[in-house]
């Protein structure tokens, strides 16, 4: 939540008390230079002990509430028919308004099941933007992902409050081009992860629903960050300013035929779920669940996490919970802008993002500017961010990189984990790096898996730029 101070400043204030803490350390510069080399210049391959602030992701790394932890103590581990499942089912009914729900081990398992049930080879899946695992699963099933985002969605510096909107003209044109029969569904991702966590508006969702219904196209919402999107609707869409986050979420859900979520984000747990009011879809998902995930009442999740997700679902619509990361991200992004760091604006829902194509305009996209920036930023800060650019993309059939629309350094803000002081530190080191950006060089792959290469691929610097960067840093700050 934001509060206004008597000097006029607005700050994000923590609406919780920290009663359990996890120690972190700030490894010295010399160790950071070694650690990133050991990790193949891929921040995914760093170890926690070498990280000061872990801003890799907001997935599964959020602070849980006392009520979530308490619920985990009374979980029911029955293989079938466990009471934990029924508590989750009730939470899904109460909060999201769906009769049927199925737990899965995490969000991408939903995408796998959606692909099995909805996609035939040659089908097209329309969406406001793809996510890495989404695209991988849909294309493995023979589908074709078509993104129909609004024209300025990829403009990193913008004042469009809803860059996650689906372009309605492109939607109509796609229906005309492919024919409704070939369109498996239209998917709306609540805060588009890869283009900066940008929300869509309620008006846009309702318009998408109306067009889809006319053509019998199912509407699917990726709800992984649903409460954050709902909170930004409350903040940015005048009509909903007086609505509660809970009511906005219900209204959003009323537009969907199927929803799915990674339970690792808004619900501050680990797991995932699929939900619908359509008994036929439910039957089809249910048939695959025991094959790939587990029995219907646990779906590959631990019963403890099912309990935590049930409580997390109810808690995520509290204004305090829904706003926790959004307000801190806005603070982080505003600081970046004030210090001249090229940030993605407006602030989004899961992270502060830096435009690496502007930050490292001297590095060609084929040398992965966002990956290089993530490695360089780790060296100068011990903060772990993530590349969201061409490394997170793939190669075409000729082995050439498919250059990503955007090259972003993502600095995720897990819910209720970090403080304003941490954000000040992040922006301080980031602006120092911006002043020394010419020292950052490119990267090249030395080990590259065929799918989702960003997770475990290894890279090497082109030249000895990490050492030169470290020398410049040492001259200003010493080893810390």
For ligand F0G, the binding residues (CB under 6 A) are 57, 59, 106-108, 131, 133, 189, 193, 222, 224, 262, 264, 272
Smallest distance from ligand F0G to CB 386, Å: 7
- Tell me, yes or no, if 267 is annotated catalytic: no
Residue 358 CA to residue 384 CA, distance in Å, equals 20
- Tell me, yes or no, if 162 is annotated catalytic: no
Q: What tokens does 432 get? A: 């120092």
Smallest distance from ligand F0G to CB 56, Å: 7
- One of 85, 118, 129, 131 is an active-site residue; which one? 131
CB contact at 8 A, 167 and 201: no
The residue nearest ligand F0G at its CB is 107
- Tell me, yes or no, if 108 is annotated catalytic: no
- Tell me, yes or no, if 76 is annotated catalytic: no
- One of 163, 265, 270, 429 is an active-site residue; which one? 265
Smallest distance from ligand F0G to CB 65, Å: 20
Q: Which is nearer to ligand F0G, 57 or 174 (CB)?
A: 57
CB contact at 8 A, 322 and 316: yes
Q: Which is nearer to ligand F0G, 217 or 350 (CB)?
A: 350
- One of 48, 49, 79, 476 is an active-site residue; which one? 79
Q: Which is nearer to ligand F0G, 29 or 58 (CB)?
A: 58
Q: Which is nearer to ligand F0G, 50 or 58 (CB)?
A: 58
Smallest distance from ligand F0G to CB 108, Å: 3
Residue 469 CA to residue 432 CA, distance in Å, equals 11
- One of 222, 257, 327, 355 is an active-site residue; which one? 222
Q: Which is nearer to ligand F0G, 29 or 127 (CB)?
A: 127
Smallest distance from ligand F0G to CB 322, Å: 16
- Tell me, yes or no, if 454 is annotated catalytic: yes
Residue 145 CA to residue 86 CA, distance in Å, equals 35
Using CA atoms, how far residue 351 sits from 319, 325, 448, in Å, is: 19, 8, 26
Smallest distance from ligand F0G to CB 356, Å: 17
Q: Which is nearer to ligand F0G, 167 or 387 (CB)?
A: 387
Smallest distance from ligand F0G to CB 61, Å: 9
Smallest distance from ligand F0G to CB 391, Å: 14
- One-letter-per-residue 3-state SS of the chain: CEEECCCCCEEECCCCCCCCCCCCCCCCHHHHHHHHHHCCCCHHHCCHHHCCEECCCCCCCCCCCHHHHHHHCCCCCCCCCCHHHHHHHHHHHHHHCCCEEEEECCHHHHHHHHHHHHCCCCCEEEECCCCHHHHHHHHHCCCEEEECECCCCCCCECCCCCCCCECHHHHHHHHHHHCHHHEEEEEEECCEHHHCCECCCHHHHHHHHHHHHHCCCCEEEECCCHHHHHHHHHHHCHHHCCCCHHHHHHHHHCCCCEEEEECCCCCCCCCEEEEECCHHHHHHHHHHHHHHCCCCCCCCCCHHHHHHHHHHHHHCCCHHHHHHHHHHHHHHHHHHHHCCCCECECCCCCEEEEEHHHHCCCCCHHHCHHHHHHHHHHHHHCEECEEECHHHCCECCCCCECCCCCCEEEEECCCCCCCHHHHHHHHHHHHHHHHCHHHCCCEEEEECCCCCHHHHCEEEECCCHHHHHHHHHHHHHCCC
Q: Which is nearer to ligand F0G, 193 or 325 (CB)?
A: 193
Q: Which is nearer to ligand F0G, 33 or 55 (CB)?
A: 55
Residue 382 CA to residue 29 CA, distance in Å, equals 8
In this structure, what is the dihedral angle of CA atoms 284, 262, 453, 468, given to the nearest 10 degrees? 170
Smallest distance from ligand F0G to CB 291, Å: 18
Residue 363 φ/ψ, nearest 5 degrees: -100, 120
Q: Which is nearer to ligand F0G, 229 or 367 (CB)?
A: 229
Residues tagged active-site: 79, 131-132, 222, 265, 388, 454
């Amino acid at each position: 939540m934001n509060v206004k101070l008597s000097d006029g400043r607005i700050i994000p204030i923590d609406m919780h008390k920290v009663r359990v803490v996890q120690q972190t350390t700030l490894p010295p510069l010399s160790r950071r230079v070694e650690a990133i080399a050991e990790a193949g210049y891929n921040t995914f391959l760093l170890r926690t002990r070498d990280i000061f602030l872990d801003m890799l992701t907001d997935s599964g790394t959020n602070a849980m509430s006392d009520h979530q932890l308490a619920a985990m103590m009374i979980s029911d581990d029955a293989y079938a028919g466990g009471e934990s499942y029924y508590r989750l089912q009730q939470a899904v009914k109460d909060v999201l308004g769906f009769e049927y729900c199925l737990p899965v081990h995490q969000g991408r398992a939903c995408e796998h099941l959606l692909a099995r049930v909805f996609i035939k080879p040659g089908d097209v899946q329309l969406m406001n933007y793809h996510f890495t695992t989404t695209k991988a699963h849909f294309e493995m099933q023979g589908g074709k992902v078509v993104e129909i985002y609004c024209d300025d969605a990829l403009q990193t510096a913008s004042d469009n409050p809803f860059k996650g909107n689906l372009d309605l003209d492109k939607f109509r044109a796609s229906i005309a081009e492919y024919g409704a029969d070939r369109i498996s569904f239209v998917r709306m991702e609540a805060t588009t992860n890869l283009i900066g966590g940008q929300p869509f508006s309620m008006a846009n969702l309702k318009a998408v629903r109306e067009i889809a219904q006319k053509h019998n196209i199912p509407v699917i919402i990726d709800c992984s960050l649903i409460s954050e999107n709902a909170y930004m609707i409350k903040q940015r869409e005048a009509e909903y300013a007086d609505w509660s986050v809970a009511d906005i979420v219900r209204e959003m859900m009323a537009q969907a035929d199927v929803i799915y979520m990674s339970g690792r984000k808004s619900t501050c747990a680990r797991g995932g779920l699929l939900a619908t009011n359509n008994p036929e879809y439910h039957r089809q998902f249910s048939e695959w669940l025991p094959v790939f995930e587990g029995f219907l009442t646990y779906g590959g999740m631990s019963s403890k996490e099912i309990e935590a997700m049930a409580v997390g679902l109810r808690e995520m619509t509290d204004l305090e919970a829904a706003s926790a990361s959004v307000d801190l991200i806005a603070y982080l992004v505003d600081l970046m802008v004030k210090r001249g760091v090229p940030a993605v604006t407006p602030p989004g829902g899961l992270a502060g993002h830096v435009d690496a194509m502007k930050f490292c305009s001297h590095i060609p996209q084929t040398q992965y500017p966002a990956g290089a920036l993530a490695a360089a930023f780790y060296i100068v800060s011990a903060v772990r961010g993530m590349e969201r650019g061409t490394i997170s993309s793939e190669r075409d059939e000729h082995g050439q990189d498919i250059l990503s629309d955007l090259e972003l350094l993502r600095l995720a803000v897990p819910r209720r984990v970090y403080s304003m002081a941490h954000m000040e530190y992040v922006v301080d080191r980031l602006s120092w790096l911006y002043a020394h950006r010419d020292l950052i060089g490119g990267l090249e792959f030395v080990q590259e898996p065929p799918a989702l290469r960003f997770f475990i691929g290894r890279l090497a610097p082109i030249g000895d730029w990490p050492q030169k960067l470290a020398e410049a840093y040492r001259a200003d700050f010493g080893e810390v």
